[in-house]
Every structure is written in structure tokens, then in C-alpha cells.
Structure 1
Amino acid sequence: MPVISVPQAFNEDELYVDLEGIFGQSLFLKCEGFNFAGSIKLKAATEMVEAAERDGLLTEDSVLVESSSGNLGVALSMIAASKGYRFLCVTDSRCNLSTRMMIEALGSQVHIITEPDPVSGFLGARIDHVRALCASDDRYVWLNQYTNPSNGMAHYRRTAPAIARQFPDLDVLFVGAGTTGTLMGCARYFRQWHRPVRIVAVDSVGSVTFGGAPGRRMIPGLGTSRRPPLLDESYVDDVVCVAEPDTIRACHRLARRGFVFGGSTGTVVSGAMDWLSRQEGRELTAVAIAPDLGERYLETIYQTNWVQDLYGGAGGAPPPRERGAVPVPATAGARAPA
């Protein structure tokens, strides 16, 4: 029975979902959302804060500040509450309302950027704001997940070894690309492993991470509007780019089988299934990393009006239920006609 005294001490690291019965392709989905922060970002947040403490960067007067699309903001809020630090999360208008409310519930503050930079988008505008804060007051400490080596080191030390223990015959690993911390940490670990593992990065259409054309992206988590400094493409074997309607379709398909995952997970699963469908005649041991669960997306990718307003008929309407819909009376208490 686990007994903890701080929330970051717990993370379920050995749970996988076999997706073959849902998608018809063998793929094991590593679930990273079962911790008190609700996402894989807990690992990076913990590693970065502890490194800053070891380096003497944090004092009782310090104010942690970070640019985040949501999940890292929640993780840092939780750790800040646990350790007694103040934290300011700089996000943008695409951040889910429930995520912002979670950050505030943990005692941290949220600053929302409403206008993107003309060249570098919302990410660039967020980073510019963080830099301005740090220049204005030396109490602000920016962990900078985009360049901080501890971001990737968290997954080199924890995520990749956990996968290796469970899948000693691993052939291919699918990892979503945001800051690329998870991607690079896992890729570096498996580059040194006892057998070759193909690393497939999954990105969003509209992201410039791997040289694609910039475009509108409304689902937070994966993709960037500027190339991540942590990225070293020599460690990446393939890249799959997923359009947001396909992300939504994957999420809805999983939900219809009882698994409510977040947008980043839907993107990774969609990209993985696309890549696996092109490997004719090959039996592969494949794992994909699911960064988070879906409760924070109920007002967006699981909300019909939001999907229809943004994507119209291409917006990933959920598939019909296999056993038919449950009949609901038009009026509560109405009697059926005799």
C-alpha cells in the first residue's frame, strides 16, 4: 500500500492499454495520467524544480514562472503548493478552462496571452511575456521547459526505463512532440539499448517543429510555432503529422470503448495507427505514450458544439454505438402511448 506525504511522490508507471481490440492494430498505450497532476508533465516538473533547488536558484522569495499550454502548469502548481513556492503560469486562450481553474485551485496564478506574435504565434508571445517579467524583477525564476536539459532527463531516467522493463522486445515507440523533452529523453535512452528501437515522433498539422508549414492549432499540448531547442532530429527515425479532426476522431473512438483520454493522446494514437497500417506483413511490438487523460477536455474535444464550430463536418463526429443508443423519453415521466 503506497503511503505518501507529498503529491509528486506518486505516479503509476506500469499501466498500459492494449488497443488492438479497438483499432485493429497491435499497440500498447502507456498511460501517464494517473498521478495527482494528471499528466506526464509531473516528471519534467519534478526534475526541473529539484535541479533548480540543487543549483541554488530558488529561495523563499522566488516566484516560479513558466510558459505552458496547460499540463506543465498544473504540475508546477502542484509542486509549488507542496514546497511552499509561488508560481505564475503564462498560458494562452487555447488553454482549457478546467486546466486554468485547477492551477488557481492549487494557489497559483494564471496570465492568459490573448494575441499571438505575428511570426512566432502564441508560444512566442508567451515566452516574450515571461522574459519581460524576469527582466522586471529578479525574484522571478524561469525554469524554461524549452531549453532545460532536466525536461528530457526526466524521461531518460524514468519513462524510457519503465517501458524497457515491460517490453524487452520493443520494436517501435511513438512519442508526441511538444517541447520534445519526452521525445528526446526516450530516444536517447533507447539509442543506447541492447537492440534497435525505431523512434516515431507524432506532431500536429500546423506545427513547425519538423519543418512543416505553420497553421491554426486549437488543441493544446503537442506542436509548436517555433522549433524546440531541445530537438535533435538525428535521434528520430520517422515523423507522422496528424490533423486535428483525426485527433478528435481517435479520442471519440477511445471514449466509445470507455477510455477518455486527452487531445495529445488522441494525436499520438492516430499517428501511430497511421504508421502501423503502412507496415504490411510486419509483426511489431509497438508502444505509444499517452501523456494525459481526458477530463480537462470535456468542454472542447468532447463537446459537440466546440467541435462543430471549429471543424464543421470534418470535426470527428463519434462513431455510432455498437449496440445502439439508449432510448430517452422526450419528457420526463411521460407515458408511452397505449
Structure 2
Amino acid sequence: MPVISAPYAFNESQLYIDLQSILGRPLYLKCEGFNFAGSIKLKAANEMVEAAERDGLLTPDSILVESSSGNLGVALSMIAASKGYRFLCVTDSRCNLSTRLLMEALGSEVHIIADLDANGGFLGARIDYVRALCANDNRYVWLSQYTNPGNWRAHYRTTAPEIAGHFPRLDVLFVGAGTTGTLMGCARYFRKWHRPVRIVAVDSVGSVAFGGEPGRRMIPGLGMSMRPPLLDESYVDEVIRVEEGDTIRTCHRLARRGFLFGGSTGTVISGAMDWLHRHDTRGITAVAIAPDLGERYLDTIYQTNWLQDLYGDQILDSEQETVDSRRVEPMPRAAGRRRKS
């Protein structure tokens, strides 16, 4: 039994779920939500804060500030409270109420952006607000999860080796794409591994992370309204975009079997099932990364009125995968790309 003195010292990283009996496809789910921050974002938050401390950027008078749709904000709130820093999370109106209340309970300040940016999202407006704060007050320290290499290094050092240790014959890995920190860290690690691993990025329809037209996105977590600065597409074999309706149905399907996951996890699983449905899966070892749990989505994804208001009365009529509604973009690996480090 672990004994800890700081909340960020605990992170259960060895739990996997075999989804074969539930979804009918060979898929192992790496659960990353069992820590005091409730999501995979604890790893990146730890890495970025520790790097800022080593570099002398954080002092007792510093105020941490970050733009976040929710989960990184909670992780930084927890770390800031434990270490004695002040923290301001700049989020937007899509952030779940329970997430905002949790950050405030941990002593953080939350600022909500309500104006859309040019791409129909909130990210640009959030970043502009953070930049203005930092320009006017040098006490603010912006970790910038969108550009900070600590974001992907956290997963290069932890998440990917954890998977490799459990699945030495891994064939395909499904990773959700937001800032692309998890995606890039895992992809870089497996590029150097002893066997080829197909890296499949799972994005939300309406995100412009991999190009395309922006669209409405109501579920926070995955997806971006700008190209992620950390993204290097040469490490990605394929991109799958998932409609929010499919995310919601996947979440409810798993909940009816006792597994309550969040929107990011529902998106990743839905994309993985699409890919597995279209490929010969005999003898394949496939793993998907589950970034979050579902408690923070009780007033959105799991709330009937919210669903009906945004997606219509028929949103939960069928648990079947609506594969035809998804757009899939294969990205064939160019010759010699495995040699890139």
C-alpha cells in the first residue's frame, strides 16, 4: 500500500480494462483517471511545474496561470494547493460546472471566456487573455501546455513505457488528440521501439487540429480550434474523427455495463471501435488510452435535458456504432519514417 504526503505523488498507472466482452472487438483500455486530479493531465501538470521550478521560473510570489478546458486546470489546482502557489485557470463556457467548482474548492481562481474566436472556438480568446495578464503583471507564470515540451515528455517517460511493459507485442495504439501532448509523447517512444506500432490519433469532428473546417464542439477535452504547436504529423499513421453523438452513445453504452467514463474517453473508444471494425483483428493487440472518468460529465453527457437540448430527442435511441457518420483520414507511412528520432 502506498503512503504519500502530497496528492500528486499518487497515480494508478497499471489498470487496464479488456473491452472484448462489452464491445465485441479486441481492445484494452488503459485507465488514466485514478489519481487525485481525476485524469491523465496530472502527468503533464507535474512535468511542467517541476520543470518551471528547476528553471527558477516559479517563486513564492508567482501566480500560475493556464488556459484549460478543465482537466489540466484541475491537476494544476491540486498541485498549486499542495505546493502553496496561487493558480488562475482561464477556461470557457463549455467547461463542466463540476470541474469549475472543483478548481474553486482547491483554492484556485477561475476566469470564464464567453466570446468565440475566429475559428468558432474559445481557445484563441483564452490565450489572448492569458498573454495580456502576463504582459501586465510579471508575477504570472504561464506554463503554456500548447507549446511546453514537458507536455509530451511526461508521456514519453511514463505513459508509453507503461504500455510497452504490459504489451510487448503491441500492434496499434489509439490516442486522443487535444494539445497532442499524450499523442506525441507516445508516438515518439514507440517510433524507437523494437517493433512497429501503428499510431492512430482520435480527434473530434469540428476540430481543426489536423486541418479541415471548424465546427461546433460542446464536449470539452479533445479537439482544438487551432493547429497544435506540439503536433508533428510524421509520427501519426492515421487520424479518425468522431462525431459527438458517437462519443455520447459510447459513454452511455459503457455506463450501462458499470464503467462511467468521460467524454474524451468515449471519443477515443468510439474511434478505436471504428478502426477495429474495418480491419482484420485476428491476433491483433490493440490498446486505447482513457484520459478521464465520467463523474465530471454528470450534468452534461449523462444529463438527459442537456443532451436533448443540444442533440435532439433521438440521441440515445441506438447503442449501435454509426460508422458511416465518421470521417477517417488514412496517413500512409512514408518510406524511412521509422528512422526519425
1:230 aligns with 2:227: no
Work out whether residues 116 and 122 of structure 2, in 8 Å CA contact, stay in contact via their aligned partners in 1: yes
TM-score, length-normalised on structure 2? Answer: 0.92
Flag the structure with larger Rg. Answer: 1
Q: Report the Cα distance in structure 2 between the residues aligned to 1:258 and 1:281, rounded to whole angstroms.
A: 26
Match of 1:245?
A: 245
Q: Secondary structure at the match of 1:124?
A: helix
Match of 1:132?
A: 132
Match of 1:99?
A: 99
Match of 1:65?
A: 65
Q: Report the Cα distance in structure 2 between the residues aligned to 1:281 and 1:155, rounded to whole angstroms.
A: 27
Match of 2:323?
A: none
Work out whether residues 246 and 316 of structure 1, in 8 Å CA contact, stay in contact via their aligned partners in 2: no
Work out whether residues 20 and 26 of structure 1, in 8 Å CA contact, stay in contact via their aligned partners in 2: yes
Partner letter of residue 199 of structure 2?
I
Share of identical aligned residues, percent? 80
Q: Shift of the alpha carbon at 1:318?
A: 6.7
Q: Shift of the alpha carbon at 1:313?
A: 3.8
C-alpha deviations, 1:86-117, integer Å up to 9, x for none?
Answer: 00000000000000000000000000001111
Match of 2:150?
A: 150
Work out whether residues 134 and 141 of structure 1, in 8 Å CA contact, stay in contact via their aligned partners in 2: yes
Q: Shift of the alpha carbon at 1:283?
A: 2.9
C-alpha deviations, 1:139-177, integer Å up to 9, x for none?
Answer: 000000000000000000000000000000000000000
Partner letter of residue 315 of structure 1?
I
Q: Shift of the alpha carbon at 1:118?
A: 2.8
Q: Report the Cα distance in structure 1 between the residues aligned to 2:319 and 2:132, rounded to whole angstroms.
A: 47
1:276 aligns with 2:276: yes
Q: Report the Cα distance in structure 2 between the residues aligned to 1:69 and 1:130, rounded to whole angstroms.
A: 14
Q: Shift of the alpha carbon at 1:120?
A: 6.0
Work out whether residues 26 and 281 of structure 2, in 8 Å CA contact, stay in contact via their aligned partners in 1: no
Cα RMSD, aligned residues only: 1.2
Q: How many residues align?
A: 320
Q: Report the Cα distance in structure 2 between the residues aligned to 1:129 and 1:119, rounded to whole angstroms.
A: 16
C-alpha deviations, 1:300-319, integer Å up to 9, x for none?
Answer: 00011111110114523475
Work out whether residues 175 and 200 of structure 1, in 8 Å CA contact, stay in contact via their aligned partners in 2: yes
Q: Secondary structure at the match of 2:229?
A: coil
Work out whether residues 76 and 87 of structure 1, in 8 Å CA contact, stay in contact via their aligned partners in 2: yes
- Map 1:154-303 onto structure 2 (within 5 A): 154-280=154-280, 282-303=282-303
Q: Report the Cα distance in structure 1 between the residues aligned to 2:70 and 2:181, rounded to whole angstroms.
A: 16
Q: Secondary structure at the match of 1:231?
A: coil
Q: 1:117 to 1:77 in 2, by over 3 A?
A: same
Work out whether residues 250 and 319 of structure 2, in 8 Å CA contact, stay in contact via their aligned partners in 1: no
- Identify the range of structure 1 (114-123 vs 289-298) with the bigger mean alpha-carbon deviation: 114-123
Q: Report the Cα distance in structure 1 between the residues aligned to 2:49 and 2:317, rounded to whole angstroms.
A: 41
Q: Shift of the alpha carbon at 1:202?
A: 0.1
- Identify the range of structure 1 (183-192 vs 310-319) with the bigger mean alpha-carbon deviation: 310-319
Q: Report the Cα distance in structure 2 between the residues aligned to 1:84 and 1:4, rounded to whole angstroms.
A: 17
Partner letter of residue 130 of structure 1?
V
Match of 2:53?
A: 53
Work out whether residues 253 and 318 of structure 1, in 8 Å CA contact, stay in contact via their aligned partners in 2: no
TM-score, length-normalised on structure 1? Answer: 0.93
Q: Report the Cα distance in structure 2 between the residues aligned to 1:129 and 1:39, rounded to whole angstroms.
A: 25
- Identify the range of structure 1 (72-81 vs 276-285) with the bigger mean alpha-carbon deviation: 276-285
Match of 2:88?
A: 88
Match of 1:304?
A: 304
Q: Shift of the alpha carbon at 1:39?
A: 0.2
Partner letter of residue 163 of structure 2?
I
Work out whether residues 120 and 216 of structure 2, in 8 Å CA contact, stay in contact via their aligned partners in 1: no
Q: Secondary structure at the match of 1:241?
A: strand
Work out whether residues 204 and 267 of structure 1, in 8 Å CA contact, stay in contact via their aligned partners in 2: yes
Q: Report the Cα distance in structure 2 between the residues aligned to 1:314 and 1:108, rounded to whole angstroms.
A: 38
Work out whether residues 120 and 226 of structure 1, in 8 Å CA contact, stay in contact via their aligned partners in 2: no
C-alpha deviations, 1:11-49, integer Å up to 9, x for none?
Answer: 001100111111100100000000000000000000000
Q: Secondary structure at the match of 2:145?
A: coil
